[in-house]
């Protein structure tokens, strides 16, 4: 570990323990039970939150249902809804520092990345506001001289939003402002690991003037809160981001009422490196792609597929870059990789690596937990694993940590086959200076997003989501907004009825 770049503990004043409460029908509710979050990096309690049960969840759903049926939000003009969303965006930007510090302490991610996540989320709110103002349906004036058809879009109703721990503020902002822009009311459950930034956003929603009952927040665990939010008869849609296993459970829970389900799940995302690529830029992007957000990212490029002619040199360059990536104290401004979210997850990451070694793979760098002076034990070394075969678990399953696996290929056909040989299909990428190669790969890769000569660039305008077991439905962009709308056809007869009567009355 001496050849790694480690930022030891930084001396700084930490904020007081954050108190999280439920937000139900516009009122902050303490609840009778609480749970605590211990920081994965600093090993101290950083938040104490109300713990919801069935009663609080029922109350939140009831409030959302009542608010929707009363039309206090859905019947406002799009201009009025957009005005509130824009105010929320301004308030987010004014509170970036406070929210980012709390998110870093709860999640273990570097403070610079937490600030980028929170500040960047404001743009999602502004884009959703723009969609509210510009959304429209269709008209059909060619159905006959006495007929007019109009297709309108109505808000789907009450939406359950269940979010994960890896990007708690960003992922909530991929869902909530679009649901609100559409006119829906919502019940939100953040991960019990990172609840506080969602509560902080709730404070901003109230300050922006969102009516009571439109957004309700319940804190707690999947059982009973998440399962009830997914199965409740008064909920019209559930949108979830998290593991594929839990996504399947949510689909089963929702099946009893046939409500709409949108899922953004796991990924085992490949980057294909062709021999004609800009290898320096590709190596930098691979290094970023596997270590960003501590590797705990659904879009992590944890699987690279490198042409055999350049594989040895390319891996050597990635290893060299990996040694320079700054691991350690997430409150240090220069840190690029922080702590693993839980001790259990840290052990799970290591288990994948050790299993691969036992199966014949080679560790070129790292391969075990990382000790950081003055901080807790939940860190993992930058790890690069070669000699991997496509059947190994480390090449097929989502490790969700700073671990890169390397596969090799001889032809583009083989690279595409390896790309698609996965249960997942969230994202994929290719590096080549040949546009024809890039286009062929983009057309044939089974993925919701394909990057060429870049990695993980995203914009509010572009839809995000996966295929196969990476999920269903889309988030952000116009397509993500449309997920929260139901299409209704209006068929109107205008002027005189030109039809022959169906019933002859003899008149």
Cβ atoms < 10 Å from Cβ of 20: 28
Non-local (6+) Cβ contacts of 175 within 8 A are 161, 163, 239, 241, 475
As beta bridge partners, residue 138 has 151
Say if strands 270-273 and 303-307 run parallel, antiparallel, or are unpaired: parallel
- Dihedral angle of Cα 226, 229, 232, 236, to the nearest 10 degrees: -140
**Three-class SS state of 238:** strand
d(CA 452, CA 445): 12
- Number of other CB atoms surrounding residue 135 within 10 Å: 16
List phi, psi (to 5°) of 194.
Answer: -135, 65
Phi, psi of 176 (to 5 degrees): -60, -50
Helix axes 111-134, 168-182, angle to 10 degrees: 10
The active-site residue out of 192, 264, 364, 398 is 264
Q: What is the DSSP letter of 208?
A: H
In angstroms, rounded to a whole number, what is the distance separating the alpha carbons of residues 210 and 88? 9
Q: Token match 């859905």: residue?
A: 74
The single residue of 184, 298, 398, 483 carrying the catalytic annotation is: 298
With b for 16 or more beta-carbon neighbours within 10 A and e for fewer, the 439-470 pattern comes to: ebbbeebbbbbbbbbebbebebeebbbbebbb
Alpha-carbon radius of gyration of the chain:
25
> 């001289």: which residue's tokens?
145
Cα–Cα distances in Å, from 146 out to 151, 481, 493, 496, 500?
Answer: 17, 34, 6, 7, 13
397 catalytic, yes or no?
Answer: no
Selection from 66, 58, 25 nearest residue 220 by Cα: 58
CA distance 323 to 283: 13
Task: Judge whether 184 counts as a catalytic residue.
Answer: no
Q: Any bridge partners for residue 158, and if so which?
A: 185
Tokens of 49: 């939150």
β 326-328/5-7 pair status:
parallel
**DSSP labels for 87-129?**
HHHHHHHHTHHHHHHHHHHHH---HHHHHHHHHHHHHHHHHHH
Calculated CA dihedral for residues 25, 28, 31, 36, nearest 10 degrees: 130
Q: Annotated catalytic sites, by residue?
A: 264, 298
């Amino acid at each position: 570990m001496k050849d790694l770049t480690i930022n030891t503990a930084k001396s700084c004043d930490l904020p007081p323990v954050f108190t999280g409460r439920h937000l139900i029908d516009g009122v902050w509710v303490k609840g009778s039970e609480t749970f605590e979050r211990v920081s994965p990096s600093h090993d101290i309690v950083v938040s104490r939150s109300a713990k919801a049960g069935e009663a609080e969840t029922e109350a939140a759903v009831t409030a959302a249902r009542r608010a929707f049926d009363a039309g206090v939000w859905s019947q406002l003009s799009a201009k009025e809804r957009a005005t509130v969303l824009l105010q929320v965006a301004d308030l987010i930007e004014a509170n970036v520092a406070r929210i980012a510090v709390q998110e870093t302490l709860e999640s273990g991610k570097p403070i610079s990345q937490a600030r980028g996540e929170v500040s960047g989320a404001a743009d999602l709110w502004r884009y959703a506001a723009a969609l509210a103002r510009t959304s429209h349906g269709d008209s059909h004036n060619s159905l006959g001289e006495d007929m007019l058809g109009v297709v309108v879009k109505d808000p789907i109703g009450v939406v359950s939003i269940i979010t994960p721990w890896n990007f708690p503020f960003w992922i909530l902002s991929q869902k909530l402002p679009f649901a609100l822009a559409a006119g829906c009311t919502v019940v939100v459950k953040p991960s019990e690991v990172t609840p506080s930034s969602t509560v902080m956003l709730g404070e901003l929603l109230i300050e922006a003037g969102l009516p009571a009952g439109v957004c309700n927040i319940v804190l707690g665990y999947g059982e009973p809160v998440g399962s009830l939010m997914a199965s409740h008869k008064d909920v019209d849609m559930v949108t979830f981001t998290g593991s594929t296993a839990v996504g399947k459970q949510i689909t089963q829970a929702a099946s009893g009422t046939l409500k709409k389900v949108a899922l953004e799940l796991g990924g085992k995302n490949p980057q294909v490196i062709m021999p004609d690529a800009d290898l320096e830029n590709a190596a930098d992007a691979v290094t970023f792609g596997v270590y960003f957000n501590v590797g705990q990212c659904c879009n992590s490029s944890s699987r690279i597929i490198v042409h055999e002619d350049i594989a040895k040199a390319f891996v050597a360059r990635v290893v060299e870059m990996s040694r320079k990536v700054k691991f350690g104290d997430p409150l240090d401004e220069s840190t690029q990789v922080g702590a693993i979210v839980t001790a259990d997850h840290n052990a799970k990451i290591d288990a994948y690596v050790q299993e691969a070694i036992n199966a014949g793979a080679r560790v070129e760098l790292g391969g075990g937990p990382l000790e950081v002076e003055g901080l807790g034990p939940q860190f993992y070394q930058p790890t690069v694993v070669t000699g991997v075969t496509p059947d190994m678990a480390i090449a097929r399953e989502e490790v969700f940590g700073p671990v890169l696996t390397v596969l090799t290929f001889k032809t583009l056909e083989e690279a595409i086959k390896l790309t698609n040989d996965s249960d997942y299909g969230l994202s994929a990428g290719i590096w080549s200076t040949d546009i024809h190669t890039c286009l062929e790969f983009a057309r044939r890769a089974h993925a919701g997003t394909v990057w060429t000569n870049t990695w993980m660039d995203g914009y509010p305008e572009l839809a995000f989501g996966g295929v196969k077991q990476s999920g269903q439905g889309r988030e952000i962009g116009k397509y993500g907004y449309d997920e929260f709308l139901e299409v209704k056809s209006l068929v109107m007869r205008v002027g005189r009825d030109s039809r022959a009567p169906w019933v002859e009355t003899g008149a």
